[in-house]
Amino acid sequence: MTTIIIACIGKLSSSDPEDTIIQRYLKRIPWDVKIKELDLKDSKLPKSTRTSKEATMLLDAVKNCHYCIALDEKGKSLSSSEFAATLSSQFDLGNRSIGIIIGGAYGLDKAVKNHCQQTLNLGSMTWPHMLARAMITEQLYRASTIISGHPYHK
């Protein structure tokens, strides 16, 4: 069974509208997708200290993943079909656990980017990290439909 772990900074409440979108797509995705929400309690840390501590938590959350993707504004832009092809090629290689990392308000520490085999962006605009979760879950569903030949992706 394929497992995809979305490791992200911050916690969503079930009453948040983003969570409604995320749950809708999680039900449709044929793979086992786990969202690991991580949170630093000390919000007064300096940026570099905060991102470093977040990096430790994020990397621990995906430590058993065979292939990791970081979402970052400076990452590569892929079409939905290219993203599906990336996942499909990883499955073909036998990589059944994939990590997707979403940083917090200050972005990702260099250690996370260096750990990941791929760094992607969700477009050239900056997106709130909570909305990025909804966007990546939709793209995972879309990728599954592309791979299976379902007409969702037109």
34-54 pLDDT tens trace: 999 998 877 788 888 999 999
Q: Residue 107 contacts by C-beta under 8 Å, 6 or more apart in sequence?
A: 51, 72, 73
**Helix 80-92 vs helix 129-148: crossing angle, to nearest 10:** 70
Q: With 80 as the cut, is the pLDDT of residue 64 above it?
A: yes
Residue 128: pLDDT band by 50, 70, 90 thresholds?
A: confident
In CATH, what number is assigned to the domain containing residue 9?
A: 3.40.1280.10
Specify the pTM. Answer: 0.94
94-122 pLDDT tens trace: 998 999 999 998 999 999 999 999 999 99
* Residue-number span of the structural domain to which 55 is assigned: 3-148
Q: Say how many domains are in the chain.
A: 1
How much of the chain exceeds pLDDT 90, in percent? 80
Which DSSP state fits 102? Answer: E
